[in-house]
Amino acid sequence: MTIATGEPIPDVSVLRAANGGIPVTTAEALGHGRVVLFGVPGAFTPTCSDAHLPGFVLRAEELKAKGVDVIACTAVNDAFVMAAWGQAQGVGEDVVMLADGAGDFARAMGMEVEIPAHGLGTRSKRYAAIVEDGVVTWLGVEASPGDHQASSAESVLAALV
């Protein structure tokens, strides 16, 4: 079942992509302060690389001006791929890249999806969430593949008060 507003973020082990992968729990990475979390089907995939991640990098200062402490991206990829994607996209310190290599976090969030096209297999749905002290206060989930508007940085900005 998909996580809903008012529910706590599941506590699952992931890897911060920096330095080849630093083990961290999602409670540690996402459970304190105001966090914008977004999940994508995969690093280096077209919509994720051309629109979704770049939107959050471009709008990072605006998000932080609205009280966001952390912007985090997760995908069902290993830490090395997430680090390389972050570097290629120029995320710097603006976006924390979290590797969910086995899809445990996507599954716990109810965001797991099978994408057999292009050999992607088990991945995460494209979504964004505002998380306040570990609890989801807003959630936008992609309605159809490639339609990232519901989970775009602009939609998150509009939802922040």
**48 annotated active-site:** yes
Beta-strand pair 121-124/96-99: unpaired
CB 155 within 8 A of CB 140: yes
- The residues pairing with 54 across neighbouring beta strands, listed in sequence order, are none
Query: Of 35, 48, 60, 156, which one is the catalytic site residue?
Result: 48
How far apart, in whole angstroms, are the C-alpha atoms of residue 157 and residue 118? 32
Q: How far apart are CA 157 and CA 161, in angstroms?
A: 8
Start-to-end CA span in the chain (Å): 27
Contact indicator for 139, 3 with CB cutoff of 8 Å:
yes
Q: For strand 112-115 and strand 121-124, is the pairing parallel, antiparallel, or unpaired?
A: antiparallel
Could you give the residue numbers annotated as active site?
Answer: 48
